[in-house]
Amino acid sequence: MTKRRGLLLILSSPSGAGKTTLTRRLMDWDPAIRFSISATTRHPRPGETDGREYYFRSRTDFEQMVATGEMLEHAEVFGNFYGSPKAPVQSAMDEGRDTVFDIDWQGGQQIRNSSLGRDVVSVFVLPPSIAELERRLRGRGQDSEAVIAGRMAKSRDEISHWAEYDYVIVNTDLDAAFNDLVTVLQAERIRRDRQPDLADFVRGLNKEFEAR
């Protein structure tokens, strides 16, 4: 069997809606999935490790990566720069592994409009309500009041891009939302154009008919 090309699963949402939680679960569900580790100029939160959640880089190093064409996309979010390194994505695709991206709408748009656009499956995650979104941001206990207020202010803008995505999941119940995400991935993996050997396979079926 020829390997199918890995697909690029882009998850976006307002901060706090549950992207990170869903992404982690997805990678436990299928350890072959690669997480696109972004580079960022923001400082690590407690518990975050360089090279695991993000590559934490200085502004100068980040700009260098952009200038040398190492980024598939990059954007400014909440006053910091974020970007997805290109090389790991390309090698995952060649190995037939899917890559999951936790990136904002600007990054989603750039990858969708790039030469890899046909390999993109995009999912927007909505919170059940704005009150619940705020509760989740606070409950995470990782950000100061000022940072939470900034994220809430930005969430309206992020949500305004929901219609640019292939799928939309309202993350009310985590198990149900995760189930929807897995359903999307499983269906996208068996799209006709993602199964490179189908024409040969059907030729084989026809030969079998002829031999009867």
SS3 157: helix
- Which position among 117, 139, 196, 204 is part of the footprint of ligand ADP (CB under 6 A)? 139
Report yes or no: 107 and 82 within 8 Å, Cβ to Cβ.
Answer: yes
- Which position among 5, 6, 9, 15 is part of the footprint of ligand 5GP (CB under 6 A)? 15
Which string of x and - marks every residue 51-90 that binds ligand 5GP (by CB under 6 A)?
----------------------x-x-xx---xxx------
What is the distance between the alpha carbons of residues 98 and 185, in angstroms, rounded to a whole number? 9
Residue 107 binds ligand 5GP, judged by CB under 6 A: yes
74: which strand partners? 83
- Which position among 140, 154, 161, 194 is part of the footprint of ligand ADP (CB under 6 A)? 140
Residue 120 binds ligand 5GP, judged by CB under 6 A: no
Residue 170 binds ligand ADP, judged by CB under 6 A: no
List the Cα angle 190/193/194 in 5-degree steps.
Answer: 50
| Contact partner, 34, from ligand 5GP, ligand ADP, none, Cβ < 5-8 Å per class | none
Closest of 187, 201, 178, 198 to residue 21, by C-alpha: 178
Report yes or no: 115 and 103 within 8 Å, Cβ to Cβ.
Answer: no
Using CB under 6 A as the criterion, which residues of the chain lie in contact with ligand ADP when the complex forms? Answer: 13, 15-21, 136, 139-140, 171, 173-174, 177
